Structures are given as C-alpha cells and as structure tokens.
Amino acid sequence: MTQTTLSSTKSRFLLPDALSSALTQLIDRVQPGIVQVRNSGRGAGTGIIWRTDGTIVTNHHVVPHDDATIHVHLTDDRVFDAKVIDRNPKLDIAMLKITGDKLTAVPVGDSSRLRTGEFVFAIGNPWGHRGVVTAGIVSGLSTVKLPDSDSTTQYIKSDVQLAPGFSGGPLLDASGTVVGINAMVFGGDLGVCIPSNVVSDWIAGLPQRQISLSIELQPVELPDSLRKKEPALAKRAAGLLVVGASPDGHTDSAGVLIGDVLLDVDSQPIDDVNSLLGRLTRHDARSSVKFNVIRGGVLRAVNVDIEAVTRNE
C-alpha cells in the first residue's frame, strides 16, 4: 500500500517537472534573438531579430519617429545603433536594421495553425526589467478593420499578461516559434497580437525582400500509382518538378536535384511557384528549410539551402 502511494505521488510530479524543464530550455533558446529597443524620449519596448543580417521587427508605436535615436540592447549586453528602414503604422509594424555579427534570429512559425486553447508565451521588457516571461492560452482570433481604410486584418487574442515594455516582443507557441507580435496599442482585457503571417506577408511585399528562384520548375500531376503507394500523398494531385537550373543556380549543393518533385516547405503545401516564393520569403535567407520531395519514385525529406535556390533581385 505504501509503495503504491509513493509511486503515485512520484508520477504526479513527473509531468510538471518535464514541462518546466522543456519550457526553460525553450526560453533559453530564443532569448538571444529577443532585444530591448530604446527610443530616445519614449522609453523602451521589445524587438525580435527576424533575420541574422540584423533585421529586427517591432511595433510602429515603439519607434514612431524617424528622427529619434534608437538603440538595441542584446541579451549578451551588446548595444547597437538602429535605424528604421520601413514601417506600416496601420498594422503597427516597424522594421529596424543593425550592423553586427553573431546575431541569433528567432524562428518564425505559421500563425494560421493556431487554435483556441493553445499554450502561448510572451517575452518582453516591462518597466525596464529584461527578459520577463508570461504564459497563457489563445483566447481567439479576430478580424478587424484597419484605421482609415477599407482593408481588414487579423489579430490574436490571448490571456497572456502584458505590460508596457512588452510591445514589439514575440508571442511564442509551444515549439518556440514566433506566432505573433505583442501590440499593447490595441489593449483591452486580453493581450492582442499581430499574427506572424501578417508580418511575414508585409515583409515579403517590401522591395528589398523580393526574391526569385535559381531553379526552373514546372507543375506536374502525380500519378495515381504513386498516390496509392504513399498514403501521405493520397490528397495531393500535383507538385513542382525541378527541370533545370537557371544561370548561377547550384542544384547540386542546394539539396534538390533535377527530377525532384517538390511537394511542400516545412509541411506547408506548395501548389505553384508563387506559393513556394511566399514560403521562402518568410525565412532568413541564410537558413535552410525542409522540403518533402519525390525522388526516384520515393517520398523523402531533404534540407534545402535557401540561399542556394534563390537570388535577390
């Protein structure tokens, strides 16, 4: 009887201990990519290193004036001068740029996959305290009309506790990827965040983020025999066949080969070249992504070097 009671008591603590350890590792992993943004005359907010080239995303209301002096403080105590290189006041997004090396970008997730009740975490710098973490669940997704516009956009609502200084910081899912940008300006009883896909789509539309492929592709139908052989392909009708390399293309080192049929990027289906480009622009140009491809009649996953299959225009 005593042994059963002790065993039961121990088992009750195993799950919380494992969850706590996993959360601690998650926070430690992403903290280097989360910065404090100090704006002369307006206090401080938070920012996210979006790309390792020094691109940082924050809220527009954190850095609303182009003539302000902006400093970015990293977790390793380095401080950089920053400039606003683009902004969208209606979406409350701003892009900063710093010049530095050994920068860590936080991975960006797909906010369209969020579900009500999902655990999320926020990291920010409230009241001057660095790297404060809060947790909660997704309470819902809302579509609202943008100010002075006929356009609408989506926002994520959660019960994560936010305070001044969290603005511009990340809302993270349980895997540690950015699914939203905390935006205190929209306020209310619930924390309201700009979905990561809204931010990624905005960045993808900026001239400096337009890219083109260095491989040649053409749509191709998947044969019925292959779809019957591979259960994962049962609902897929087509893919993109790699038919060649454009000038300066290097398919041999990129991870894809002529004859491969591309199916998805990071588990997100690609139906045409535009959808492929849209997925690739959401990643750091120096990183790699996982493609599911058909090679030699076999479904397999390959890691693809983004820089090797794209070129900046």
Tens of pLDDT, residue by residue over 131-190, are 899 999 998 888 877 766 677 788 898 988 888 889 999 999 999 999 999 986 454 567
Q: Is 2 left (phi over 0), alpha (psi -120 to 50) or beta?
A: alpha
Q: CA neighbours within 13 Å on the CB side: how many for 35?
A: 34
Measure the CA–CA gap between 79 and 170, rounded to whole angstroms: 20
Which of 167, 196, 200, 214 is the catalytic position? 167
Amino acid present at 262: L
Mean pLDDT of 83-96: 90
What confidence score (pLDDT) does residue 98 get? Answer: 93
End-to-end CA distance of the chain: 72
264 is known as an active-site residue: no
Apex 27 CA angle, 24 and 28, nearest 5: 85
167 is known as an active-site residue: yes
Q: How confident is the model at residue 41 (pLDDT cuts 50, 70, 90)?
A: low
At 233-273, the pLDDT tens digits run 888 888 899 888 755 545 554 678 889 998 888 777 887 77
Residues of the chain with CATH 2.40.10.10: 111-207
Residues of the chain with CATH 2.30.42.10: 210-312
Which of 61, 110, 173, 260 is the catalytic position? 61
Which of 60, 92, 139, 214 is the catalytic position? 92
Closest of 197, 203, 24 to residue 112, by C-alpha: 197
Computed over every residue of the chain, the mean pLDDT equals 82
Task: Kindly state the tokens that stand for 304.
Answer: 């693809």
Task: Kindly state the tokens that stand for 155.
Answer: 């926002």
Task: Kindly state the tokens that stand for 11.
Answer: 């088992």
What confidence score (pLDDT) does residue 209 get? Answer: 47
CATH code of 111-207, in short, is 2.40.10.10
pTM (2 decimals)?
A: 0.62
92 is known as an active-site residue: yes
Q: How many residues does the chain have?
A: 313
Measure the CA–CA gap between 55 and 99, rounded to whole angstroms: 9
Q: With the C-alpha atoms ordered 42, 46, 48, 54, is the resulting torsion angle positive or negative?
A: positive
Is it the case that residue 225 has pLDDT exceeding 90? no
Q: Is 247 exposed, middle or buried (0-12, 13-18, 19+ CB in 10 A)?
A: exposed
Task: Kindly state the tokens that stand for 274.
Answer: 């535009």
Measure the CA–CA gap between 204 and 67, rounded to whole angstroms: 26
What confidence score (pLDDT) does residue 73 get? Answer: 95
Q: Which helix (H) or strand (E) holds 204?
A: helix 196-204
In percent, how much of the chain has pLDDT > 90? 33
What confidence score (pLDDT) does residue 1 get? Answer: 44
Measure the CA–CA gap between 187 and 97, rounded to whole angstroms: 27
Task: Kindly state the tokens that stand for 63.
Answer: 């850095």
Q: Which of the residue ranges 184-193, 214-223, 302-311 would you say has the lowest mean pLDDT? A: 184-193
Q: Does domain 210-312 have CATH number 2.30.42.10?
A: yes
What confidence score (pLDDT) does residue 2 get? Answer: 45
